[in-house]
Homo-oligomer: A and B are copies of this chain.
Amino acid sequence: MSKYWSEITKSITPYVPGEQPRDKKYIKINTNESPYPPSPKVIEAIKEADDENLKLYPDPTVSGLRETVAQYYNLDKDQVFVGNGSDEILAFSYMAFFNPGKPVLFADITYSFYDVYAALFKIDYRLIPLDEEFNLPLEEFFQENGGVLICNPNAPTGKYIPVEEIQRILNKNMDQVVIVDEAYIDFGGESSIKLIQNYPNLLVIQTLSKSRSLAGLRVGFALGHKDLIEGLDRIKNSFNSYTLDRLAMAGADAAMKDQAYFEETRNKIIKTRETLSQKLKEIGFKVLDSKANFIFISHPDIEAYNIFQGLREKGVLVRYFNKPRIKNYLRVSIGTDEEMEVFYKGVKEIIGAR
């Protein structure tokens, strides 16, 4: 604690990302990265953009990439905002759409950055408890609020709610912004993007970190009514005119255009997830239905923390959250079939299954 820190700096508890260890080589299934490399066309596009033009500022309006994303989703360019990962867009959204004194609603078990933003920007929030099976109680989002934030599929549970339920929430919140964080939507869920034309209160946020294998490039985007996009632009342009460098723009553009590669890799991940889930159930695990690139699992006999530690010793890194309600669960990112085989053998040994 330093006397030079602002009151906010003193009061916040920063987000802690999943560890990126360097002590040895792990099977790293703890931060929901893709096990597959980005499309070769991405690598190529970046090499092409890596030239003397790096001396010049990037396009502050990110015009080309926004156009590409707009075309991909059949929207207008002014319905697209591009940011430095979906985390940055979430941070901008708190500033752009939420006010102090009016609580924002989100689930008690969800992406653990949401309450960190709230503390940073002094936005009140109310946690909506998920039910015993981690389902979202829709009606709770009909109460008076200052905004709604839903992660769909949810992290770390992987549970997905259908677009019709999002629509019910939107209908009851026409005066506030409803943000649907779709970081994991490409792994089996249907996006709420189709509701954008009818709901000026809907902002959908996606990322290239997961389904496009580009966690290392830092690109996310938000889709919504042009007034919402303008709100995000106003904040961004009061914060940092250029949050995406030239290389990130080039790579992201190529990624959005390589549909075949995208389909191939995300389908492989879905298939691996389903196979693994089945096998884990057969050896006694509870496995939540997941539409994400991870699964959330629990074993009736062996504590999650012990499995986590046992796996770590075997060189397999999964995510353990020391938090109420979920401390007997592990979040396991879906890797390649080979990686999942190592993981599976490891847990089998740890739980003593034959």
Contacts and interface: CB of A to CB of B under 8 A. Distances in A.
Interface string A16-58: 1100100000001001011111100011001100111111111
B9 A239 contact: no
A215 interface: yes
B55 A46 contact: no
A241 interface: yes
Interface residues of A, number: 85
Interface stretch (A158-166, A181-189, A224-232, A295-303): A224-232
Interface stretch (A74-82, A115-123, A341-349): A115-123
A215 B56 contact: yes
Contacts of A3: 175
B97 A238 contact: no
A282 interface: no
A84 B240 contact: yes
A218 B231 contact: no
A125 interface: no
Given A37-B52, A54-B213, A9 B235 contact: yes
Interface in A116-172: 116-117, 119-120
A64 to B, nearest CB: 11
B218 A243 contact: yes
Interface stretch (A190-198, A244-252, A311-319, A320-328): A244-252
A35 to B, nearest CB: 8
A196 to B, nearest CB: 13
Contacts of A34: 55
A18 B99 CA distance: 31
Interface stretch (A85-93, A256-264, A270-278): A85-93
Contacts of A237: 14-16
B239 A60 contact: no
A46 B88 CA distance: 23
A283 interface: no
A91 to B, nearest CB: 5
A103 interface: no
A245 B245 contact: yes
B98 A234 contact: no
A217 B51 CA distance: 11
A2 B227 contact: yes
A238 B15 contact: yes
A334 interface: no
A59 interface: yes
A25 to B, nearest CB: 12
A201 B2 CA distance: 10
Given A6-B95, A95-B6, A245-B218, A238 B60 contact: no
B97 A4 contact: yes
Contact of A246 (B56, B201, B216): B216
10 closest cross-chain pairs (CB), A and B: A37-B52, A14-B237, A2-B227, A54-B216, A216-B246, A55-B213, A120-B238, A218-B245, A87-B240, A57-B215
